[in-house]
Structure 1
Amino acid sequence: MSLKIQMNSTEAIANKPQLQLGSQCQAVLELEQLLTKLRVYRQPAKGIFDKAVEFAVKLYQFRVFLPPDGIVGPLTWQALDTQSPVNMPVLRFGSSGEAVATVQEVLRLSQHYSGEIDGQFYTLTENAVRAFQKSFGIEADGVVNRETWTALSQIPRGYDPQWFLT
């Protein structure tokens, strides 16, 4: 049953149109309702993808670690449907790169990490991940998986649209 629901949900997402500034259709109305439910959009739903909708989309994309381009394509639809980050890598001791730096930044904001933002997943980062997981009631295994990414997405972060233009 669960697999059937998941397949129907996946099929529904695959059939969603790409939406962007200027789009006008029923799907925009649905998008506005989802963004309202997620508390990133506070305007009356009109079914018109205007600047306010675009900003709310960018804010949500930023929250779930997607590039905030303001275009609602398959990944954004999936993140909206699951209310969680999608396509995020599993990170563990020894991992490195931009995703690790993002985790370190969010852990610093949540006051679980005080080390350097260096994109290196070693002991200090692993211990911070474990402490974060414990504080969210997640198995404290030190591995950043989907459940941990979802919890990380709940930490408020400042979104500056100008930062992404540079």
Structure 2
Amino acid sequence: MSLKTQMNSTEAIANNPQLQLGSQGQAVLELEQLLTKLRVYRQPEAGIFNKAVEFAVKLFQFRVFLSPDGIVGPLTWQGLYTNSPVNMPVLRFGSSGEAVATVQQVLRVSQHYSGEIDGKFSTLTETAVRAFQKSFGIEAEGIVNRQTWTALSQIPRGYNPNWFLT
């Protein structure tokens, strides 16, 4: 991405309004076009944020590891423009927490990890990350960085909107 394109994307993200169910207008039309391009929305584009648009937003948010709340704010806009996860931590041996558990879950889906989903970046997780990176043509350093998060987001995972209901 050129610096000019990157600046235009940054400006566009900053200038885009928050969108949610019931929103209408040009920004929703742009949202629908982005979702269509990313193959998560297959309805006619009408500039109306309805339940179908909301579901596509949630599906996209899930794909890029954002909370699937169906509200399009700055992080979702950024993810839409870059088609990649945003604000994800760099993970390595010794890291722990929810992000590590997410990596383990995706690695399990991609059949690179068979260990326990425990949120601990152990030797087993590091070995799985290296194998995953190698299979994606990424330098197999065993560190989950932006490039690895982007590759992980390309692994098809089943999205169940009911998982996130409280």
Give TM-score, length-normalised by structure 1: 0.97
In structure 1, give the amino acid aligned to 2:99: A
In structure 2, give the amino acid aligned to 1:2: S
Q: Distance in 2 between matches of 1:155 and 1:66?
A: 15
In structure 1, give the amino acid aligned to 2:32: E
Tell me the alpha carbon deviations over residues 78-118 of structure 1, each in whole angstroms, 9 at most, x when there is no partner: 00000000000000000000000000000000000000000
Q: SS at 1:117's partner residue?
A: coil
Q: Distance in 2 between matches of 1:54 and 1:161?
A: 11
Deviation for aligned residue 1:43: 0.3
Tell me the alpha carbon deviations over residues 39-65 of structure 1, each in whole angstroms, 9 at most, x when there is no partner: 110100000000000000000000000
Deviation for aligned residue 1:134: 0.2
**Residue 69 of structure 1: aligned partner:** 69
Aligned length: 166
Mapping of residues 54-133 of structure 1, within 5 Å: 54-133=54-133
Q: Distance in 2 between matches of 1:72 and 1:8?
A: 19
Q: Distance in 2 between matches of 1:62 and 1:86?
A: 12
**Residue 152 of structure 2: aligned partner:** 152
Deviation for aligned residue 1:9: 1.7
Percent identical among aligned pairs is 87
**Residue 41 of structure 1: aligned partner:** 41
- Structure 1: give runs of 5+ residues left out of the alignment: none
Q: Distance in 2 between matches of 1:137 and 1:158?
A: 24
Deviation for aligned residue 1:11: 1.4
Deviation for aligned residue 1:12: 1.4
Q: Distance in 2 between matches of 1:158 and 1:46?
A: 27
**Residue 18 of structure 1: aligned partner:** 18
**Residue 141 of structure 1: aligned partner:** 141
Q: CA RMSD in A?
A: 1.1
**Residue 163 of structure 1: aligned partner:** 163
In structure 2, give the amino acid aligned to 1:76: T
Tell me the alpha carbon deviations over residues 11-53 of structure 1, each in whole angstroms, 9 at most, x when there is no partner: 1110001100000010111111111111110100000000000
Q: Distance in 1 between matches of 2:8 and 2:52?
A: 30
- Structure 2: give runs of 5+ residues left out of the alignment: none
